[in-house]
Structure 1
Amino acid sequence: MPLPAAFPPTSLPPDTPAALTLVGVGPGDPRLLTVAAVEAIRAAIVVAYPVARLGASGMAAAIAAPWITPQQVQLPLLFPMVSEAAPLRQAWHAAADTLAAAVLEAAGQGGSVVLLCEGDVSLFASSSYVLLALRQRHPALPVQLIPGVSAVAAAAAAGAWPLALQQESLLIRPTPETPEALEALLDRAAAGAEVLALLKLGHRWAWVRPLLEQRGLLDQALFAQRVGWPDQQVASARVVEAGAAPYFSLLLIRQSWPEVLP
Structure 2
Amino acid sequence: MGVGPGDPELLTLKAHRCLRAAEVVAYPVARLDATGMAAAIVEPFLDPAQRRLPLVFPMVTEPEPLLEAWRAAAATLAHEVQQGRRVVFLCEGDVSLFATGSYVLLALQRHHAELAVEVIPGISSVAAAAAAGAWPLAFQKEGLLIRPCPETPEAMEALLALAKASGTVLALLKLGVRWHWIQPLLQARGLLDDALFAERVGWPDQRVMPAAAVQAGERPYFSLLLVRQGTSAVLP
- Normalization by structure 2: what TM-score? 0.98
Note the C-alpha offset of 1:259: 4.0
Q: 4+ residue stretches of structure 1 with deviation over 3 A?
A: none
Segments of structure 2 that go 5 or more residues without pairing to the other structure are none
3-state SS of the aligned residue for 2:138?
coil
User: Do the aligned residues in 1 keep the contact of 2:140 with 2:233 (CA within 8 Å)?
Assistant: no
| Of 68, 71, 80, the match for 1:90 | 68
The aligned amino acid for 1:220 is: D
Residue in 1 aligned with 2:26? Answer: 48
How far apart, in 2, do the equivalents of 1:197 and 1:253 lie? 7
**1:166 and 2:140 are equivalent in the alignment:** yes
Identity %: 67
Q: CA deviation at 1:47?
A: 0.1
**Amino acid of the structure 2 residue aligned with 1:152:** V
Quote the offset at 1:258 in angstroms.
Answer: 2.2
Match of 1:66 in 2: 44
Q: TM-score, normalised by structure 1?
A: 0.89
**Alignment correspondent of 1:127:** 101
Residues in 1 aligned to 2:71 and 2:233: alpha-carbon distance in whole angstroms:
50
1:54: Cα distance to partner? 2.0
SS at match of 1:130: helix
Give 1:237-256 correspondences, 5 Å limit. 237-256=211-230
RMSD: 0.8
Distance in 1 (alpha carbons) for counterparts of 2:42 and 2:229: 36
The secondary structure found in structure 1 opposite 2:107 is: helix
Match of residue 32, structure 1, among 10, 20, 24: 10
Which of residues 77, 94, 109 is equivalent to 1:99? 77
Q: Which amino acid aligns with 1:80?
A: P
Matched to 1:188, the amino acid is L
> Corresponding residue for 1:199?
173
The AA in structure 1 aligned to 2:124 is: S
Distance in structure 2 (CA, Å) of the matches to 1:115 and 1:244: 32
Task: Tell me how far apart the structure 1 counterparts of residues 75 and 132 of structure 2 sit (CA, whole Å).
Answer: 38
Unaligned ranges ≥5, structure 1: 1-22
Aligned residues: 236
Larger Rg: 1
The DSSP-based 3-state class of the residue aligned with 1:220 is: coil
Query: Which one of the candidate residues 232, 251, 262 is aligned to 2:206?
Result: 232
Matched position secondary structure for 2:221: coil
CA distance in 1, matches of 2:30, 2:215: 29
Q: Does structure 1 residue 261 correspond to structure 2 residue 232?
A: no
SS of alignment partner, residue 135 of structure 2:
coil
Q: Residue 155 in 1 paired to residue 129 in 2?
A: yes
Alpha-carbon distance in 2 for matches of 1:147, 1:204: 29
Question: Is the Cα contact below 8 Å between 2:141 and 2:233 reproduced in 1?
Answer: no
